[in-house]
Amino acid sequence: MKEKLFGAVEAEKENLFSLIQKLIQIKSYSGEEKEIVEFIVAKMIEFGFDESYHDTFGNAIGKIGNGPIKIMFDAHIDTVKVTDTENWVHPPFAGEIVNGKLYGRGAVDEKPAMAGFMIAGKVLKQIYGDNFPFTLYVVGSVLEEDADGYPLYHIIQNEKIKPDYVLLGEPTDLKVYRGQRGRMEIKITTTGKSAHGAHNQKGINAIYKMMPIVAKIEKLDKKLKPKQPLGKGSITVSNITSKAPSLCSVSDFCQIHLDRRMTIGETKKTVMKELKEIIKKHKSDAKISIPNVEGIGWKGTNFSQEAYFPTWVYDEKHPLVDAAMKTSKAAIGKAKSGVWSFSTNGVATAGHFGIPTIGFAPGKEELAHSSKEELVLNDLLKATKFYSLFPFELASRIKRRSL
Ligand SMILES: [Zn+2]
């Protein structure tokens, strides 16, 4: 089976490389994915997928097979913007290929996986027709850069597609990634009483009320303990704003915005408790809240979600991780596991719904969102072999376990 699949992927090599080049050439900033979604949907039909459409949120969804084990491959196909200050050696939307490397926005984060999924699907249909022990959903998700997790949350919650297992196409440099730190955003607000600056003793300064809280948060960050394999959580004051009737008055409003990264054992509950304790210690009446992330998709659908993205991680012995390690050995001759530093759509699938999730894709995470995004085309070929074999490897394992 392995030889047959890998041989068929090899035969599609030129198609794979021109497909990823095309995906780079179609600009697809978050919220502006119409063109790329329509392109992907049409291609999946051309490649013989059983179904291909875009859902009410605007995600591209393809389907192959009708077997009992539901597997979802997800690659977000939106990218962050190119800014004026970035220095691109190769133009970001030209899709230039030099010495076996492709350059451009999205060449790491994370269009290659989408191309690989599509070609793997094409090969699966060519060889096996309708006879699969699994149902494979291939998702090109939108708006991930603005709202990690939300596109898949939408598919599971509103489109009623609930996979048993998920594979993410975020960059892993051909390692099997099995978790990530979670993250959340928090606002803390203090209020005071304004007064003329010339009579400041009559006022209560909201900024002064905030200062000891900020100092304690700085200390808290240093006290957070690492938990392997995800490492240490963190807390960062990312913004501070204040209001006063004029620049000659006592400030009566102050607000900080916090970025909190969470390791194993850190949840919304523990994070809120920590902060409430700080506030209590200072006998402060500061208010804590979790903001919502809001936006609008290319189809005009509004979304809003609490800015809480739970931590998730799976053991190396988990059948999904194990199946991926075996597939990696077969496809690229080696297998290594790891975790992401950044956040992914796994916050919805694994973090929120508890659906076992992993990642496997070419590209180095640290190059994401930079002008250095590059793809070694041969790595994409290897990843595509992985994608073609993985559903079988997983399905056989799950069947064995349930016997
Ligand atoms: Zn990404």
Per-residue model confidence as pLDDT tens digits over 76-95:
999 999 988 888 999 999 99
Amino acid making up residue 266: E
Give the separation between CA 295 and CA 189, rounded to whole angstroms: 24
Give the separation between CA 186 and CA 209, rounded to whole angstroms: 17
- The alpha-helical segments, DSSP class H, found in 28-157 are 34-46, 111-128, 150-157
* CA 346 to ligand 1 centroid distance, Å: 11
Give the separation between CA 274 and CA 226, rounded to whole angstroms: 16
* CA 375 to ligand 1 centroid distance, Å: 14
* CA 179 to ligand 1 centroid distance, Å: 14
* CA 251 to ligand 1 centroid distance, Å: 40
Among candidates 398, 367, 382, which has minimal Cα distance to 171? 367
Per-residue model confidence as pLDDT tens digits over 289-301:
999 999 999 999 9
Per-residue model confidence as pLDDT tens digits over 285-338:
999 999 999 999 999 999 999 999 999 999 999 999 999 999 999 999 999 999
pLDDT confidence tier of residue 201, bands split at 50, 70 and 90: very high
* CA 68 to ligand 1 centroid distance, Å: 29
pLDDT of residue 403: 46
CA 92-98-104 angle, to 5 degrees, is: 15
The pLDDT mean for the chain works out to 96
Q: Who's near 123: CB < 8 A, 6+ residues apart?
A: 5, 8, 9, 12, 388
Give the separation between CA 150 and CA 107, rounded to whole angstroms: 22
pLDDT of residue 401: 57
Per-residue model confidence as pLDDT tens digits over 3-35:
999 999 999 999 999 999 999 999 999 999 999
Residue 67 has pLDDT above 80, yes or no: yes
* CA 76 to ligand 1 centroid distance, Å: 6
> How far is Cα of residue 58 from the mean position of the Cα atoms in its chain?
17
Q: Each residue of 73-87: b (16+ CB within 10 Å) or e?
A: bbbbbbbeebeeeee
Cis peptide before 163 (omega within 30 of 0): no
pLDDT of residue 322: 96
Residue 135 has pLDDT above 70, yes or no: yes
Catalytic sites, residue numbers: 78, 144
pLDDT of residue 402: 54
pLDDT of residue 315: 95
| 97 touches 373 (CB < 8 A) | no
- Residues with C-beta atoms within 5 A of ion ligand 1: 109-110, 170
What domains appear along the chain, each with residue ranges and CATH number?
Answer: 2-180+311-402 (3.40.630.10), 182-296 (3.30.70.360)
Instruction: Please spell the DSSP secondary structure of 333-382, one letter per residue.
Output: S---EEEESS--THIIIIIIT---EEE--SS-GGGTTSTT-EEEHHHHHH
| 359 touches 170 (CB < 8 A) | yes
CB atoms within 10 A of CB 35: 12
Per-residue model confidence as pLDDT tens digits over 140-193:
999 999 999 999 999 999 999 999 999 999 999 999 999 999 999 999 999 999
* CA 33 to ligand 1 centroid distance, Å: 15
pLDDT of residue 400: 61
* CA 66 to ligand 1 centroid distance, Å: 29
pLDDT of residue 123: 98
* CA 80 to ligand 1 centroid distance, Å: 9
